[in-house]
Amino acid sequence: MKTYPLLYLMIFVFFAISCEKNNIGEANIFTKIYSDQNSDISYYPLDIKQTADEGYLVLGSISIDTTRTWLNTYVAQIDKEGEMQWSSKIALPYVNPVGNIIEIGGENYIFCMDNLSLQTHVLKINNAEATATQVATIQDVEYPLAVSNIAEGGALLLGYDRIKRSSVLAKIDASFKVVWKTEFLIKEDAEPLLVEHLLKTGKTLPFFTGSIGEGGATHYFANGLYNYTLSLLFVKAAGGDRTGIGQGYRFDGGASSLLPLQGNTFAMSRFSFNRNFLLPTVNIDINSISSINDYGGAHLAEIADYANTITKKMKIKNKDAIVFACNTNNNQVVIYAYDLSEGKLILRKNLGFEHPVMVGGMIQTKDEGIAILVQTMVAGRFKRLGLYKIPKEHL
């Protein structure tokens, strides 16, 4: 009788792979779309955070399409298998929530805007009551645009002063008091541009903030408006004194994400009109003036114009990696992962097929998978939230 060792080997590999896939539990892999019967509202994803029970806390905003007013604040709790546990549409005056759920003292907070005074409110997420309630108001910062955690236990907040026509970068302590603030003069009235950005009726600009330094921050940065253009703004952590500027080109070029790695080394994405570039590693002198166009990077034509881009450091294939998530021209989300030590591409993965999707938030989960919060179009017209959970085995 003839034997077929190659055939046996192929059958063994097939069953091994099948068993591995079957061992992936429902909590490790799923795709969820969260429906709403109200056809007059649209959902916009902002941030996602995994909770202690391996579920997910979601932050988003809601627009009333028939009125086009300020966007309302939305927060939800999802269990580890992607099922909605509760959701809350926060009533006025709390509008235009800022991306990033901020954790201070083990509690989760949202920064948003007052619909009349334009000042910044801070809401504490209350899981027991399935909502978020106000705990503070930061009167010194209007038009909140971006916020991030800082190592000292507070937050770094970017806003806009409509009287002085300047960007305002403020350090906020754990009691939600302003420690210092630094202003960057824009030299023109940017309010119409920012209103369109906040209402989702015009160009959406990539505003963000962050910290530089291991352990404790030595510097902070913000992507905001300065001197007629979108620019990277660098300041000292102590006192907020300016140190450097990375200049974009008006509002059609600049950084779309920035991730500090070590020293003056960063991971970055940037755009120039309809061209997008990914830079797994780039050196930036934070104490000088430079042009972001000079940083180079790999041009990827499949990324959509002015695409939202998220950059995170993660474990991929047991390697430290820089992971980018972007929107594509064919209405998908594409994930690129680059080996941190060598800068080589080790993963490329597309999400979305039947329904168009746009990335809103991305995290690495406790089981070393990835969870991605997206906006999806149901029936080609209804903007709803969706959640992808990708297991470690599929990376």
Which position has the token pair 């530089």? 212
Q: Which residues on adjacent β-strands are paired with residue 374?
A: 359, 386
User: b vs e for 349-388, b when ≥16 Cβ sit within 10 Å of the residue's Cβ?
Assistant: eebbeebbbbbbbbbbbeeebbbbbbbbbeeeebbbbbbb
Mean pLDDT score, 339-365: 91
Residue 19 has pLDDT above 80, yes or no: no
Q: How many CA atoms does the CB half-sphere of 196 hold within 13 Å?
A: 8
Q: pLDDT for 240-269, tens place per residue?
A: 999 999 999 999 999 999 999 998 999 999
Which position has the token pair 């930036």? 284
Question: Which range has the worst mean pLDDT, 184-188, 203-207, 354-358?
Answer: 354-358
Cα–Cα–Cα angle for 303, 308, 311, rounded to 5 degrees: 95
Residue 7 has pLDDT above 70, yes or no: no
Residue 22: predicted pLDDT = 52
Residue, of 298 and 387, whose pLDDT is higher:
387
Confidence bin at 343 (pLDDT 50/70/90): confident
Residue 16: predicted pLDDT = 41
Residue 392 has pLDDT above 60, yes or no: yes
Domain ranges of the chain: 307-395
Q: Where do runs of H (alpha helix) occur along the chain?
A: 5-22, 191-199
Q: pLDDT for 103-126, tens place per residue?
A: 999 999 999 999 999 999 999 999
Residue 11: predicted pLDDT = 35
Which position has the token pair 């010194």? 140
Confidence bin at 4 (pLDDT 50/70/90): very low
Predicted TM-score (pTM) of the model is 0.91
Residue 18 has pLDDT above 60, yes or no: no
- Residue among 236, 227, 235 at smallest CA distance from 254: 227
Residue 271: predicted pLDDT = 93
Q: pLDDT for 174-183, tens place per residue?
A: 999 999 999 9
- The proportion of the chain whose per-residue pLDDT surpasses 70, expressed as a percent, equals 94
- Cβ neighbours around 51 below 10 Å, total: 14
Task: Give rounded-to-5 percent helix, strand, coil for the chain.
Answer: 10, 55, 35
* DSSP letter, residue 117: T
Residue 10 has pLDDT above 70, yes or no: no
